[in-house]
Amino acid sequence: DEKEKFEPTVFRDTIVQGLNEAGSDLEAIAKFLDAAGSRLDYRRYADTLFDILVAGSMLAPGGTRIDDNDKTKMTHHCVFFAEEDHDAIRNYAQV
């Protein structure tokens, strides 16, 4: 049995890059996530994926972001940066 390495930072970088390239169009973001799901292990990195989609980057225990203020390690296409209205949040939840 060969064990796979657990590399959440590589997963984060791949997801964040794809989200940033998709832009602010939620439909493009959903298509990217759907296409990436066939080659990325969403189950293995579920916590990291959730952190990115909600907070824009990986979170450390206690809730601080682990991005070292590096713009390539964070995205603004997440719930925390969404407009503060019911419809905008619902659209992110549907993604």
DSSP 3-state of 19: helix
Instruction: Name the band, by pLDDT with cuts 50, 70 and 90, for residue 5.
Output: confident
Residue 66, pLDDT score: 85
Q: Is 38 left (phi over 0), alpha (psi -120 to 50) or beta?
A: alpha
Phi, psi of 52 (to 5 degrees): -65, -45
**Any idea where the domains of the chain sit in the sequence?**
8-93
CA-CA distance, 16 to 21, in Å (whole number)? Answer: 8
pLDDT band at 1 (very low <50, low <70, confident <90, very high): low
Record the pTM: 0.86
* 37-70 residue pLDDT tens: 989 989 999 999 999 999 999 999 888 888 878 8
